[in-house]
Amino acid sequence: MTQTNQQWGGRFTESTDAFVQAFTASVSFDRRMYRQDIAGSLAHATMLHEAGVLSAADHAAIVQGLEAIRDEIERGEFDWSVALEDVHMNIEARLTARIGDAGKRLHTGRSRNDQVATDIRLYLRDAIDAILAELRRLQGGLVDLAEREADTIMPGFTHLQVAQPVTFGHHLLAWFEQLKRDSGRLRDCRARLNLCPLGAAALAGTTYPIDRQRSAELLGFSGPTENSLDSVSDRDFAIELCAAGALLMTHLSRFSEELVLWASAQFGFVDIPDRFCTGSSIMPQKKNPDVPELVRGKAGRVNGHLVALLTLMKGQPLAYNKDNQEDKEPLFDTVDTLLGSLRAFADMVPALRARPERMRAAARQGFATATDLADYLVRKGVAFRDAHEIVGKAVRLGVDSGRDLAEMTLDELRGFSAVIEADVFACLTLEGSVAARDHYGATAPAQVRAAVARARAWLATD
C-alpha cells in the first residue's frame, strides 16, 4: 500500500497529490495557535485520566511530552511539516515520536473538529484581552489630552462647515465614548465565545465517559457548548470579533481623517510628532501623517475580512466543512491589524500638540456664534423661528461686509431686532459660547473636566 498520512490514512490506497497536499495544508498560518492547541490537549488528557479513560502513566507521559514540545516550538527548534497539514497533527505526530503509543491515545474522545473550534476560541480570548489592553491605553491617552485641552476652543463642524464653538477636550472625549462602546462590544464577544467545544468530537459527541464540564473548567471556560453539531460547525464568534473589529477600525479611520485634516497647512490645528510621520523623496518640505493615513487604509481590509467570513459561512450545511479552514487567515489578520493600529494610536495620541491659536482663528470664521445670538433673542421673548430669520439677516450683513457678528456695532445689531442690548456681546464671544453650554455632556470646560473625571473612574473600574 502506498504511504499515506498516518493520522487518517487507513482508508486510502494512494498518497495525496503533492499540490493538493500543499493546497489543503494550513500549518503555515494556524501554527500560531500552538500554545492554545497544547493547552487544549493538556486539559483533554487530564479530563481523560480523571474519567478513567487514560492511565496515570500515559497521562504523565503526555503532559511531559506536550510541555517539551511547547519548549521546542518557543526555541524555534520544531520542524513543521506541510505533509501533516495543520498545527494539531504536527504536534500530535511529534508527541507520538517522543513518547510512543501514549501519544496515540491523546486523541481518544475528540476530533480535529472540536479541537480546532476550541483552539480558535482560546486564541480569540487571548487576542481580545490583548486588544482591550491596547484600547484602554489609547483611551487613557485621550483622557489625559482632553484634560490638558479642556479650555482650548476650536470650531465644531457639521458637513465640514463651521457650526458652533466647542472645546478640543470635548472633541477628544467624543472619541473616547466611541472607543468605550467598542470596548463593550469586544467584552460581549468574549463572553459569548467563552464556551468549550471539547467533547463535541466530530459532530455527534463520543461514546467515552468524558466530563465536558471538567474540560471547560480546566481551560477557564464558563462552561461547555450546548449542542455538538453547533459546537464544531459555526464560526459566528469569529464573525462577531471581526464585526466588532470593523466598527473599531471605522472609528479609528474617522479619527485618522480628522488628524490628517488637522495636521494640514490649511487647518494647522495639531502637530503630529516627527516620529509618527515620514517625508517625501522629492519634496524636502513634506511631513506626511503616515500613521493616521495607514490606519485609515487598514480599516478597509478589516471590513473586507468581515464580509469574507460572512460569505464563507452563509452556504454551509451542518456540520463541519473544509471551507472553515479559510476562517483563520482573515481572522488572524484582523487581530494583527487591530493590535497594530491601536498600538500606533496609543503611542501617538498623547504626543499630539494642539495649536490653540489656529483653532481659535478657525472658530472665529463661519459665524460660529450665530446660534448663540438666536438663543439670546429667544431669552428676550422672540419666537425661535423668528429669531432664526433675524440672525440669518445679520449673518448676511456679515458675509457682505466681511465681519463676524461680534465685530458689528450695537446699532447695527439693533437694526435687526430692537430687543438686542449691550449684553449681547457676552454671548458672541467664543468663551461665552462654550461656557454657556454648561450641562451634562456638553462642551463647557467645567463639563469637560467633569467628563474626564467620569472617564477616569470608568477606566479604573471597568
Cα angle value 185/188/190 (rounded, 5°)? 110
How high is the pLDDT of residue 4? Answer: 52
Asked if residue 85 lies in contact with residue 25, where contact means CB atoms within 8 angstroms, the answer is yes
Same domain membership, residue 348 and residue 377: no
Within 10 A of 204 (CB to CB), how many other CB atoms are there? 12
Range of the domain at 122: 113-361
How high is the pLDDT of residue 3? Answer: 46
Domain end among 307, 342, 361 = 361
pLDDT 10s digits, 47-78: 999 999 999 999 999 999 999 999 999 999 99
Q: Look up the CATH number of the domain holding residue 398.
A: 1.10.40.30
Quote the CA–CA distance of 370 and 93 in Å, as a whole number: 75
How high is the pLDDT of residue 1? Answer: 36
Q: Look up the CATH number of the domain holding residue 103.
A: 1.10.275.10
Domain end among 302, 336, 361 = 361
Same domain membership, residue 434 and residue 381: yes
Cα angle value 69/74/79 (rounded, 5°)? 60
Quote the CA–CA distance of 280 and 289 in Å, as a whole number: 11
> What does the mean pLDDT of the chain come to?
94
Interhelix angle 87-99/112-148, nearest 10 degrees = 120
Give the pLDDT band (50/70/90) at residue 114.
Answer: very high
Is residue 35 one of the residues assigned to a domain?
yes
Is residue 9 one of the residues assigned to a domain?
no
Is residue 8 one of the residues assigned to a domain?
no
Is residue 273 one of the residues assigned to a domain?
yes
Same domain membership, residue 92 and residue 132: no
Is the model's pLDDT at 16 over the cut of 90?
no
- The secondary element (H helix, E strand) that includes residue 222 is none
Same domain membership, residue 278 and residue 255: yes
Same domain membership, residue 433 and residue 291: no
Query: In the numeric block, which cell numbers belong to residue 166?
Result: 466647542
Residue of 55, 222, 264, 280 marked active site: 280
Quote the CA–CA distance of 369 and 220 in Å, as a whole number: 56
How high is the pLDDT of residue 24? Answer: 78
The answer to whether residue 55 is catalytic is no
Is residue 419 one of the residues assigned to a domain?
yes
Number of domains in the chain: 3
Within 10 A of 409 (CB to CB), how many other CB atoms are there? 9
Q: Look up the CATH number of the domain holding residue 147.
A: 1.20.200.10
Is the model's pLDDT at 213 over the cut of 50?
yes
Is the model's pLDDT at 6 over the cut of 60?
no
How high is the pLDDT of residue 362? Answer: 95
Same domain membership, residue 370 and residue 356: no
Same domain membership, residue 234 and residue 249: yes
Q: Average the pLDDT over each of 133-142, 170-179, 242-251, 369-378 and give the range with the smallest value.
A: 369-378
Same domain membership, residue 192 and residue 274: yes
Same domain membership, residue 302 and residue 172: yes
Is residue 1 one of the residues assigned to a domain?
no
pLDDT 10s digits, 354-375: 999 999 999 998 899 999 999 9
pLDDT 10s digits, 181-198: 999 999 999 999 999 999
Query: In the numeric block, which cell numbers belong to residue 214?
Result: 471538567
pLDDT 10s digits, 166-176: 999 999 999 99
Quote the CA–CA distance of 147 and 141 in Å, as a whole number: 10
Task: Tell me the average pLDDT across 389-406.
Answer: 94
Residue (of 59, 351, 45) closest to 208 by Cα position:
45
Same domain membership, residue 79 and residue 219: no
Quote the CA–CA distance of 392 and 156 in Å, as a whole number: 19
Same domain membership, residue 139 and residue 244: yes
Same domain membership, residue 28 and residue 167: no
Domain end among 341, 361, 381 = 361
The answer to whether residue 159 is catalytic is yes
Could you tell me which residues are beta bridge partners of residue 166?
154
